[in-house]
Amino acid sequence: MMPHAAAATPQLLRRVNAQAVLRHIRGADVATGTELMALTGLTRASVIAVCEDLIGRGWIVELDQPRTVPANPRKGRPARRFAFNREAGFVLGLDIGAATTTAAVADLRGTVIGRSSESFRAADIPAQERIGVIDLACRQALEAAGTDPGTVLAVGAGIAAPVDRDGNVLVTQRFWSLFDVGLRSALKDLHGWTVLLENDANLAALGERWRGSGAGVDDLVVLLAGERLGAGVMESGRLLHGRGGAAGEMGYLDMVEGVGSSDGIAALARQWSAAGGGPSAGGPASAPRVFEDAAAGDAAALAILDRISERMARVIASIASLINPEQVVIGGAVAESAGALLPGITARLPRFTATPPRVTVSPLGDKIVTVGAIRHALDFVEANALELELAG
């Protein structure tokens, strides 16, 4: 007949209230019953019952009374003090690139406590070997963190391919399509992990909103603009995927200039530098070199940066017209040097769009995807905390 929704039973109340209490305890350093009463609107009896429940499940711990006299001594019976158990489990954040995979382990507050990278032997290795390399990076990161696979509650994984809302890679145009499905089931089979696959630019957006220059911005676009160009779009605090997960895949967006439209800043700098000349025309036309030369005042390099700024301004303006974000963050491999592009971009925007966003450069460097992957995994854990089993 219909996929009938589960009936709301009294147990649902406890779930909802426990979730609210847990959220507040997670946000605070330490919480007392009275604070939680004010925050949740529950009575003391309910708050305490919920806390006992959460302690039993391992999500929070009760702290001992401080032996030392507290800084500002308060009258009355001392309150029981509850704290989030940030080591109730851990999450993994993966940045799976074409050449290298980086794994980062974080506790439930998001503090990274282990990290490891492994490179693939070649670009065309079979899926099985690729999974082996990824798994190795994960295990090394866990070891560095001093924990083991059994404590992992969720894995966020970013790849440079369209991923739809359900974590499936639909587009069959690349080798990923074969590979990714293998990854999810492989890590499930190996360790029992829940793997949340996402597009790398989308994860970059999550990361930037969490701990980058877009902190707290609900309408945010992150341009992952190193070698390739991809956008992670958040509207009203939610990631946009589109029908097949290809939202933000700016594949053919640029219909004006002759360059490949999926080229990022680094690729453009290299190409135009190789074609154009300048003092470093003789040497290898690397992107860092172009930025260096421009910083030193070289006219040809400056002209290239200007051209890149123009191009980025057009891309950002298209985004501004369609999505109207509050802020656009430029991230990826060239983020450190991309600051030099900002004035040129910002100055051009009003010519191209009536709603120019704030444009900034990511402070997260090459960690942008793993940070976002961790956030993605934490979001899952926080949403499903009361359904997850904690391993001792």
Partner DNA sequence: AGGAATATATTTAGCTTGTATCTAAATTAC
Partner DNA sequence: GTAATTTAGATACAAGCTAAATATATTCCT
Write out the residues near DNA by the rule CB under 7 A: 7-11, 13-14, 17, 32-34, 41-46, 48-50, 65, 69, 73-80
Phi, psi of 391 (to 5 degrees): -85, 130
Tokens describing residue 107: 């506790």
When asked if residue 199 is in the footprint of a copy of itself (CB under 8 A), the reply is: no
Q: Which residues are paired to 232 by β-bridges?
A: 222
With contacts defined by CB under 8 A, name the span among 77-85, 187-195, 234-242, 287-295 that binds a copy of itself: 234-242
Q: Which residues pair with 152 in a beta bridge?
A: 90
Q: Which does 250 bind (CB under 5 to 8 A by kind): a copy of itself, DNA, none?
A: a copy of itself
- Counting contacts by CB under 8 A, is residue 230 touching a copy of itself? no
Nearer to DNA, 2 or 69 (CB): 69
Three-state DSSP at 331 gives: strand
By CB under 8 A, tell whether 231 contacts a copy of itself. yes
CB atoms within 10 A of CB 336: 14
Bridge-based pairing state of the strands 238-239 and 229-235: antiparallel
Write out the E strands in 200-334: 220-225, 229-235, 238-239, 327-331
User: With CB cut-offs between 5 and 8 Å by kind, which of a copy of itself, DNA, none does residue 38 bind?
Assistant: a copy of itself
- From the list DNA, a copy of itself, none, pick the one residue 231 interacts with, judged by a Cβ distance below 5 to 8 Å according to partner type: a copy of itself
**Residues 280, 304 contacting (CB under 8 angstroms):** no
What would the two tokens of residue 241 be?
A: 């995927």
Q: At what angle do helices 44-57 and 10-27 cross, to 10 degrees?
A: 80
Least distance (Å) from a copy of itself to the CB of residue 21?
10
Among 168, 177, 286, 324, binds a copy of itself (CB under 8 A): 324
Task: Show the binding pattern over residues 150-189: x = contacts a copy of itself (CB under 8 A), - = does not.
Answer: ------------x--x-------x----------------
When CB distances are held under 5 to 8 angstroms depending on the partner's kind, the choice from a copy of itself, DNA, none that residue 322 binds is: a copy of itself
